[in-house]
Amino acid sequence: MRSPTSPPRPTRPPARRRRTRLVGGLVAFLLAVGAAPVYAADEVPNASVELAGPLTPTAPLGWSSDTWGGAKATFSWPTPGYEGDRYLRAEVSDPGSGDAKWWSDPFAAPSADKVWVSDVYRASVPTTLMVLWLGPANQQQFAVIAAAAPAADWTSVGGTVSVPTWAEQMRVMHVIGAVGWLDTDSYGVAAASPGPDVVQTADADAGAEDSVDPNFRPIVSLTFDDGWLSAYHKLIPEMNKRKLPGSHYIVAGFADTPGYGADYVSSDYVLQLARDGHEIGSHTMMHDNLVNLPIEQVLPNLQQSKQILGDFGINIVGFVPPFGEYNDAVQAHIETTYAYSRTVKAGINVEPYMTYELWGVVVTAEMTVADLAGWVEQARQMHGWLILIFHRADEDPPSESFVRPSVFAAMMDHLVAVDADVRPVGEVLGVWQWQPPVEEVVDVQTGKGFDQPDGVGKAYSAAGGDGGDGSDDGCTAGRRGGGAGALALVFAFSACLFGVMRRHRA
Ligand SMILES: [Zn+2]
């Protein structure tokens, strides 16, 4: 086992995770849904690991598993725990050059010089209780709290550690780096009275930033997935009235496509959003689950949806994977095609932002204005960025994915009242700036006047001859005079094309 005074272990989280710290998801979510326990900012989230995640009911809220260095491990959340019903188990079959662990989501480091960190565990091999300190300039420092000897029965372990002056957040973890199993439960972090340090952390290169800026405006982004027509009709006007632009992730193949027009925005709505100052992003061609799609189809899907939406003369930089589903291979393609990607992981984003794994909070039919206010206040206290996720709207919500327009309007009033810094996602990241769509008049017959690959126009002709598909259905919805109509037609060409391709494939 390593000595308690050895340098921080160079444990290395996966590259994506390293880019940011996303904190407060638990606290904020509980505030949002009004669930029973509400944790103080400096407490380990879901410390007794009893609560299930809101989006992953089979996994513990506020905890995730991790391996590095080629370690092979399985993770589970079995019963009965030392305290309550549940505990965390990690079983390592091959430690490789690394280790395996459950670790807490980042949470605010206590404002104390030293803290006591502890858990209750049992293990077949020696293991290590550790923390990771996270600073505002992406500083990361692992610190060993205590070495834990093998123990067949539940055993307490803990130690004090100095809080680096630069540390804003921390994660708690119990690490297993050998073939064997480790069970943990009942994590705790508390301000400690001065005593012998287990570890003296070095903070020489850290920029101290202890003060909270009272003037910080919480950053809020209003995002809309799928392009539901009901949101366009019932929610967006409330934003426009208050000059609160949002980000809209459109399923490119739904717009102007027969059968989808009843529920989803058509190209002229998309254009109007762009004119009104909103950001447009992609949500794939056909709301595809990219993890289930053959990997060779993923990149074309990402590129085509971007091109179709971009053909409006709109700058498309953002992406949202449907169902929140992606893996490393998919993510690699997203990163080559888009400037950012937003997930549905609940939490508040804190700088430095994880550009390709932004967290958001799904606004459900049950969420109240007070719930929203709790989230915004969390973002303010954390100097964070709250991304809200909306889908569709109905005053009598048939399901959770709807929000009441009256509640939405009150939410918008609240954002204005607290002077939230409401901006589209791409603008917060500095990768997008609003500009009016390029409203270029297009000759419907020749396609001249817009820069379109040869294939599209040809395919449109083919579509016209495809059993009459192209003549009477939504493929011609954009056939109108005027710049906007012509541009809509460009969109219609593309949507139609892919509609035809889809029919041929089916
Ligand atoms: Zn979606």
pLDDT digits (tens, 9 = 90+) for 172-192: 999 998 889 999 999 999 886
- At position 174, the amino acid (one-letter code) is H
Surrounding residues of ion ligand 1, Cβ less than 5 A: 225-226, 322
CB 346 within 8 A of CB 359: yes
The Cα 364–Cα 408 span in angstroms is 11
Six token digits for residue 7: 């340098």
Residue 211 scores a pLDDT above 80: no
Compute the mean pLDDT over every residue in the chain, rounded to the nearest whole number: 76
Q: Would you state the pLDDT for residue 110? A: 86
**pLDDT-based confidence at 213, cuts 50/70/90?**
low
First to last CA, the chain: 59
CA of 499 to the centre of ligand 1 (A): 19
pLDDT digits (tens, 9 = 90+) for 377-404: 878 877 889 999 999 999 998 887 899 9
Per-domain boundaries in the chain? 15-191, 219-429, 454-505
Residue 231 scores a pLDDT above 70: yes
Q: Would you state the pLDDT for residue 373? A: 85
**pLDDT-based confidence at 97, cuts 50/70/90?**
low
pLDDT digits (tens, 9 = 90+) for 240-278: 999 999 999 999 999 888 888 889 999 999 999 999 999
Could you give the C-alpha distances from 419 to 161, 247, 380, 409, 414, in angstroms and in order?
38, 19, 11, 15, 8
Six token digits for residue 116: 């006591």
Class (C level, CATH) for 219-429: alpha beta
CB 151 within 8 A of CB 121: yes
pLDDT digits (tens, 9 = 90+) for 124-161: 987 888 899 899 888 887 777 777 888 999 998 888 77
Residue 497 scores a pLDDT above 80: no
CA of 287 to the centre of ligand 1 (A): 6
The Cα 176–Cα 71 span in angstroms is 10
Six token digits for residue 172: 């708690």
Query: What are 270-273's contacts with CB under 8 Å, separation 24+?
Result: 270/227, 270/309, 270/312, 270/314, 270/491, 271/312, 271/314, 271/437, 271/484, 271/487, 271/488, 271/491, 273/232, 273/236, 273/248
CA of 412 to the centre of ligand 1 (A): 22
DSSP result, 101-163:
EEEEPPEEPPSSSEEEEEEEEEESS-EEEEEEEE-TTS-EEEEEEEEE--EEEEEEEEEEEEP
- HSE-CB at 447 with a 13 A cutoff on CA atoms is 17
Interior CA angle at 318 toward 317 and 323, to 5°? Answer: 155
CA of 263 to the centre of ligand 1 (A): 13
The Cα 119–Cα 48 span in angstroms is 9
DSSP result, 218-270:
PEEEEEEEETBHHHHHHTHHHHHHTT---EEEE-TTTTT-TTTTTTB--HHHH
Q: Would you state the pLDDT for residue 115? A: 85
CA of 268 to the centre of ligand 1 (A): 20
Handedness of CA 396, 400, 401, 407 (dihedral sign): positive
CA of 283 to the centre of ligand 1 (A): 7
Six token digits for residue 480: 């109108």
CA of 322 to the centre of ligand 1 (A): 5
Average pLDDT over residues 353-381: 83
Compare 210 and 292 and report the one with higher pLDDT: 292
Altogether, the residues listed in the chain come to a count of 506
Residue 19 scores a pLDDT above 90: no
Compare 116 and 454 and report the one with higher pLDDT: 116
CB 36 within 8 A of CB 56: no
Q: Would you state the pLDDT for residue 404? A: 96
Percent of the chain with pLDDT over 90: 42
CA of 222 to the centre of ligand 1 (A): 15
CA of 51 to the centre of ligand 1 (A): 26
Percent of the chain with pLDDT over 70: 73
Coil/strand/helix, residue 492: helix
Residue 329 scores a pLDDT above 70: yes
Four-way CATH pick for 15-191: 3.10.105.10, 2.60.120.260, 3.40.50.300, 3.90.226.10: 2.60.120.260
Burial class (CB in 10 A: 0-12, 13-18, 19+), 426: buried
Strand-strand pairing, 247-250 and 219-226:
parallel
Q: Would you state the pLDDT for residue 498? A: 32
DSSP result, 414-451:
HHHHTT-EE--HHHHHTS------------TTT-TTS-
Contacts of 17 (CB under 8 A, 6+ apart): 66, 354, 357
Q: Would you state the pLDDT for residue 59? A: 83
pTM of the model: 0.54
CA of 238 to the centre of ligand 1 (A): 22
Six token digits for residue 41: 């900012």
The Cα 92–Cα 111 span in angstroms is 35
Residue 236 scores a pLDDT above 90: yes
- At position 5, the amino acid (one-letter code) is T
Q: Would you state the pLDDT for residue 196? A: 36
pLDDT digits (tens, 9 = 90+) for 39-61: 344 588 888 898 887 777 778 98
The Cα 141–Cα 9 span in angstroms is 8
- At position 107, the amino acid (one-letter code) is F
Q: Which of 253-257, 311-315, 361-365, 394-398 has the lowest mean pLDDT?
A: 361-365
